[in-house]
Amino acid sequence: MAAIDHQAELIRAGANISSTWGNIKFFARRYPLGAAGAVIFAVFVFCALFAAWIAPLDPFATNARASLSMPNATHWLGADFMGRDMFSRIVHGARISLAVGIGAMILGSGIGVIVGLASGYIGGWFDLIVQRVSDIMQSLPLLVMALVMAASLGPSLRNTIIAIAIPLVPTVARIVRSNTLSLREMPFVEAARAVGMSEFRIAIRHVLPNTLAPLIVLATAQLGSAILTEASLSFLGLGVPEPHPSWGRMLSESAAEYVRRAPWLVIFPGLAISLIVFGTNLLGDALRDILDPRQRS
């Protein structure tokens, strides 16, 4: 009997693997650009997770003899003005960019979900105050708000995440609020009230899960914006400080003085930023088409 149960479990596991692989193939065939974005994003995540094994040299080690070296067998993408290996710094820089981007996205989305759910479900004066504050915050572009926050908090990894997360809150809060306003009048909410379920439990268990689909799409789009904003803050000297290898700081150190003598110092960090933002945007567009029924053909 045990052997039969074990065989049945193996059959189910094989069916699940086959179904997952089939879904992946359908996604790649139906949304090729989204699949390309997923591959680009996966490559950067892989580099961030295994940077210590991928990078051939120490990203912090300096070598005066290799200063401004062109791409060669030792320094695959060249070396900066301090002789540090550019390939190793770009690979380790993926950790900084993804840590800031994902951290800011999670923090901003988490606060935005709480504020938007409470604003849409409670309503009244609380909703009015939240919406006016959101209007004030959204009147300034993301980068300007992040600059103000970063200048106030000071340059550090934690402060950069907070500075980028706070401007993301109003957009998430508005999306969640608009969905909450429509969901709280649905028959299943009225049925939950009729059986005596508390308002808090209704909001958390029944309303919140139905707002997650558009939130996933928005979070993917915000990830690209957060990474680009981090690069901008680091370029201006308000992001992640030295000695952390940030892509934006690499551009800031090289763009003005070495762009003509050593253009690879600008090209490769800029290409890394462009690829990760491009990949997340492609993936976000595909997720929107999948999760939003109005976008399906």
Average pLDDT (3-9) is 48
- Which of the residue ranges 75-79, 107-111, 235-239 would you say has the lowest mean pLDDT? 235-239
130: Cβ contacts below 8 Å, ≥ 6 apart: 115, 118, 119, 173, 177
Q: What percent of the chain has pLDDT over 70?
A: 91
| Tokens 């693997």 -> residue | 17
Largest CA distance in the chain: 77
User: Which one has a higher pLDDT value, 271 or 221?
Assistant: 271
Q: How confident is the model at residue 11 (pLDDT cuts 50, 70, 90)?
A: very low
Distance between CA atoms of residues 297 and 285, nearest Å: 14
Question: What pLDDT, on the 0 to 100 scale, is given for residue 91?
Answer: 93
* Cα–Cα distance for residue pair 129/126, rounded to 1 Å: 5
Maximum average pLDDT range among 80-84, 204-208, 253-257 = 80-84
Mean model confidence pLDDT for the chain: 82
For the entire predicted model, the pTM comes to 0.82
Could you report the per-residue pLDDT of 217-263, keeping only the tens digit for each?
788 888 888 888 988 888 888 888 777 788 888 888 776 777 788 88
Give me Rg for the CA atoms of the chain.
23
Q: What is the pLDDT of residues 110-160, one digit of tens each?
A: 999 999 988 888 878 888 898 888 888 888 888 888 888 888 888 888 899
Q: Which carries the bigger pLDDT value, residue 224 or residue 9? A: 224
Domains contained in the chain, CATH given = 22-295 (1.10.3720.10)
Phi-psi sector, 196: left (phi>0), alpha (psi -120 to 50), beta: left
List, in order, residues 6 or more apart from 134 with CB less than 8 Å away: 170, 173, 174
Cross-strand bridge partners of residue 85: 79
